[in-house]
Amino acid sequence: MTVANNKATSGNDIIFVSELTGLNKYIVNALAGSDRVIGTNTSELIDGGAGNDYLDGKGGIDVLLGSDGNDTILGGLGSDALSGGNGNDRLIGWGGGTNEIDLLNGEQGADTYVLGDATSAFYTSSRNNDYAEILNFQASDRIQLKGVANNYSLASVRSDVGIFTNNGTELIAVVENGLNRNTNLATDTRFVFV
């Protein structure tokens, strides 16, 4: 595997990772500062470092690390792994594709897992073949969904809890820890509807 390593400064950086011929993996370490890092359609490992970062993996199978700070992390197309680190992070794995399985781990802080916005619900194109796997769900975390609570249901998936839409036929997320299938989505403040 050929790898390109890109390092930023310890200040506030804007980094556009550019595709180079023959490379199939990029590593970007943004260091400290509130950075904005935009990936490519190739796979990347992006570490935002300390600071309130905005990381966008674009396409490819990416690993995006927010590290310290209140970060916004977008996986983009492809099955990605997003980790917020310390801070109150916003994790958006879905990039509009099909058959995406994204791993989302907010880690420490009050994190928001975005599974939909005012325009559309995410992970609704491939039944049980595309969804977010939410790791380490805490009492202070939130799950954002499009619409209203009645559009969703909970059921057991493996030893975890699945969030379903379309009358229980479309899996959009599997939540590990911190949630049970009898949770009332309409009254539980961990669920935010837009």
pTM for the whole thing? 0.88
- What is the span of the domain harbouring residue 153? 3-193
Q: State pLDDT tens for residues 19-30.
A: 554 555 567 777
Strands (E), the chain: 3-7, 14-16, 25-29, 36-38, 43-47, 54-56, 63-65, 72-74, 81-83, 90-92, 101-105, 112-114, 131-135, 142-145, 152-157, 160-165, 170-175, 191-193
Q: What is the pLDDT confidence band of residue 3, given thresholds at 50, 70 and 90?
A: very low
Name 101's Cβ contacts closer than 8 Å, sequence gap at least 6.
79, 129, 130, 131, 132, 133
Say yes or no to pLDDT of 4 above 50.
no
Q: How would residue 2 be classed by pLDDT, with cut points 50, 70 and 90?
A: very low
The 10 Å Cβ neighbour count of residue 83 is 21
DSSP structure class, residue 181: T
Q: Would you state the pLDDT for residue 127? A: 85
Burial of 23 (0-12, 13-18, 19+ CB in 10 A): middle
Q: Which amino acid is at 180?
A: N
Mean of per-residue pLDDT scores for the chain: 88
5-44 pLDDT per residue, tens: 455 555 565 666 655 545 555 677 777 788 888 888 888 8
- The three-state secondary structure class of 170 is strand
CATH of the domain at 189: 2.150.10
Number of domains making up the chain = 1
| Mean pLDDT to the nearest integer, 51-63 | 93
pLDDT confidence bin for 77, thresholds 50/70/90: very high
